[in-house]
Structure 1
């Protein structure tokens, strides 16, 4: 009996050793952990990471059955004479398509309608032009049993080099978990209330797991580094060397994620955090480029579209994840906020920088709802953005609409300084647009612009005192001073002193090169404006002096050169003139005047040309 037991154990052990998976997921390969081959695997499920494979796995029985079901439906439609119905239209009627649907619209709603929705129309044209999607639609037409493409975009190129993998840099090499939590708390207090596109509870939980097991994948490190870098930027005790390492780590991870086949929601969040950081600290070109990439990553994931039927167009089938019926409302709102803030930053940076913004085709993402929390102002920020959409340089906007937008903008009364600063910048943009039309700006518009500029100055002072280095802190007083000089009226010039004072305060407090350059530029512009006014005053003063020297010469000339019978002697009671008396050959006896004239000086200074011209 003991022998039977001893014989069974090695057999079971040998069977257990043979149970190996043929293909491991990419996260398990990176962290060199055992993978069970599931989708998702047990390790990724445990640590809440996205599970994906470098090569497409074999279709499961459920997928094969679904394909056979689609084929049977297609044959039935063909037998009934429905030859005009394409395979992708038949697939779009299915409640679930597992990523192989060809159109992101409901065929039942568009049946008999020659004018489909703009979203469906734009996707149709995108698919018609795409050589990558044509083989897939061709396979559907031929009723292929396996219409999924083998490999990623076959025929795209020769594939001489392998696709890049994610960077191996880790946030664990830079700072400890306790230090990261301190920086994250600063981020949650200063940045998150305005740009609230992160789930802070999930962020803290993921960070906790990240430091508990340093060998897990670093896919989420771009988000952790971006949050810590912004927290360091707004921290009074900022460590620039540490912040630089955080920025470089996030940059290297994001640059590889921008070229991988399947970007994740963490990649979109990381690019958005990098855009905010560069808008606060770097050149306009760097911020503009990053904002374009952020919006393109959101587009690649399909965040700009939401479908009620849960279908995904073939255009985004390789990158976007079809909406799940069990997707929580909180996650849906998070995705909406990521897309709208990416769109907001790209539009505002493009307007300020004078570059083109990204226009996405088939955009159908609803505006995110307002959060119930008191410190959530993201919906207010998006409401400002909706006003600014009328300022597209490619649109001809009437002045009445611009004035109405300015009036609507003035009615907002924000309690947070960052929103007040954005409100002022938007008012300056509207004024510049009105001035560009070449029309005279009415007094009401000027008063509103000055009022909103004054609000921005007060908010800038508070940001300087509390060490909040928003980009508006330097931008608002600089642009406000320029607009005051452009208005050039006593009502505007009286505020130049306060605007320059705030700009100088920012330059002294932060002590950066750009803040000093902004102050020096404004100082030069004000000096040039003063010089021009002094030149105008000198011209007027010279004209006034010439008129004063002209009047006494004219009176003296009338005394010397008199026509017969035109002058009378006030002392002659009989009314006879000196001309008639014949004294001095008809000229006035200048010796009889109370103040005799020095003839040399008189002749030298007298301008006779004035009497004839």
Structure 2
């Protein structure tokens, strides 16, 4: 995988000099006067340019005291020969310490730190005291040093555990099922490196973590490996990513491996652990400087320039990582770290046939304003309603994305319920629309054996939302939702699946009991019906009801009249 950091050309002693003779100036700038240096009277003067001073003149002088502009290479080529010799990377670094730079990037280690960090401070002190040799960007005295750092505890083992034929088949599964949605890997390069890795040319350890993540996810969605081998892959990647000797140098490959781990943990683990995993990814993005893709940044090579042209793979990695973090934090109700919206909304050309990554990014970008809405106000409600409309109107062409769109819409619906919105202001029909489209998608994914994380959760949450809406249209859709949930649960037959179905039925019974109380209260008001007979009293309602498509046949009276009656459930 390519490194996103390329060294920019810096000024050197070979820069051409004009060789002109300096003329005495009528007025010297303040920095030159304080240091008793010769000044050429220009703004900025060459002396301030060479030493990185803030060039300014006394008030009333011909030169107004404003900040000096950053010199370009063209202007630096006109420096006198003496200053041109000073134009080494360090002297260029002195020139480029303007406060507008967000931080310092060390390309050789792919490391970014803010200007205010303790690691960068010795460098800035060196600039201020005009040190001939600037301190490197280093964690000086970060701890006492009484213990040595432990060595790397992991080795290359994946090629010994899995034959190449098995690996190649799993890569094909990943390419067909996961890569279309999470398209951040260059699969051609990845496949070529895998061939080398499995045929006597070991790649680095971060690549081994990527390979382990790819094979584990492919096995999860296709079942090619037994669970013991699949778990070995997951733990092997985790061991690599958490090894201190490897993680001390963050890289794009480590971010890619963490993304794969986060997807797997979302499909198999707990919400808190999943959220922490995505937070780690976002911290790695910050550590490598990818969160400032469009800003000016000071580089230790002595350049202040826009970030180098980054590749499609790099931007997609940042996009997928950001989307994954937002989705997981949004559904779990946890805080979302600062993201670069420009990166999230970057329109990239398709890298492969059936590329669906832009559709996923557009869905997540639509809900981003809602994730930061914290106050209950009319403006917040309008913003949330607008986001819901955007999500509903985005067209997607994959079953997983249909479920994801429903997840986001349900998340917005839950957010609306806790704002100061009145129940009648919530567009239930829009939520029902995207939820209804997700039901057949869940059925298809289960039938195909594609066990994405939301094949149960989306249907279950949709059923809960329908019960909370408590309208005739939501009750009609509830039958289809429960039927789909039963189908998914019967197909998977896992503890979590059965637990979700049992909980949904329990909530449906509570809703039915609530409606029964309302009917009984109304009957006491209006009295017995003149056409009623004593036969109904001989058939009491069964206590243990199971909600199914044939629910209305379990009762001696028409349930449609009950479903048509709207009773608002307590929040």
* Same fold (TM > 0.5): yes
Quote the residue 1:154 is aligned against. 140
What residue is the counterpart of 1:333 in the other structure? 312
The Cα of 1:99 is off from its aligned counterpart by 10
Alignment of 1:447-462 (within 5 A): 447-462=429-444
Larger Rg computed on CA atoms: 1
Cα deviation for residue 544 of structure 1 reads 3.4
The correspondence for 1:434, drawn from 403, 416, 437, is 416
Which segment drifts farther, 464-473 or 98-107? 98-107
- Is the Cα contact below 8 Å between 2:174 and 2:217 reproduced in 1? yes
Aligned position for 1:134: 121
Find the partner of 2:427 among 440, 445, 453. Answer: 445
1:386 and 2:365 correspond: yes
Residues 1:489 and 1:266: Cα distance change in structure 2 (over 3 Å): same
More helix by share: 1
1:351 corresponds to which of 330, 344, 348? 330
For 1:533 and 1:178, the matched residues in 2 are separated by 60
Of structures 1 and 2, the one scoring higher in RCO (CA 8 A, sep 6+) is 2
Matches of 2:284 and 2:277, distance apart in 1 = 11
> Which segment is superposed worse, 240-249 or 434-443?
434-443
Q: CA deviation at 1:120?
A: 7.5
Answer yes or no: is the 8 Å Cα contact 2:486–2:501 preserved in 1.
Answer: yes
Residues 462 and 362 of structure 1: CA distance in aligned 2, closer, same or farther (over 3 Å): closer
Name the counterpart of 1:224.
211
User: Does structure 1 residue 525 correspond to structure 2 residue 507?
Assistant: yes
Distance 1:106 1:94 in 2: 14
Alignment of 1:578-593 (within 5 A): none
| Root-mean-square deviation over aligned CA pairs | 4.0
1:263 aligns with 2:242: no
Superposed counterparts of 1:408-557, under 5 Å: 408-442=390-424, 445-545=427-527
Tell me, in whole angstroms, the C-alpha distance in 2 between the residues paired with 1:257 and 1:322. 32
Aligned to 1:565: none
Which whole-Å deviations, capped at 9, do the CAs of 1:91-145 have from their partners, x for residues lacking one? 97566997998799896xx9xxxxx69x589xxxx84532221111111222223
Q: Quote the residue 1:168 is aligned against.
A: 155
> Aligned to 1:234, what secondary structure does the other structure show?
helix
CA–CA distance in structure 1, aligned partners of residues 199 and 68 of structure 2: 49
Q: Return closer, same or farther for 1:499/1:547 CA change in 2, 3 Å cut-off.
A: closer
Q: What is the rounded CA distance, in whole Å, between the counterparts of 2:305 and 2:199 in structure 1?
A: 32
Q: Is the 8 A contact 2:193 2:203 kept in 1?
A: no
User: Does residue 288 of structure 1 match 2:270?
Assistant: no
Provide Cα deviations, 1:268-292, integer angstroms capped at 9, x if missing partner: 1000110111111111011101000
TM score, norm. by length of structure 2: 0.72
Which runs of 5 or more structure 1 residues have no equivalent in the other structure?
A: 1-47, 51-61, 111-115, 549-613
Question: Is contact 1:399–1:434 with CA below 8 Å preserved after alignment?
Answer: yes
**Aligned counterpart, 1:6:** none
Would you say how many aligned residue pairs link Structure 1 and Structure 2?
465
- Counterpart-to-counterpart distance in 2, 1:258 and 1:372: 34
TM-score, normalization by structure 1: 0.67
- Tell me by how many angstroms 1:251 deviates: 0.5
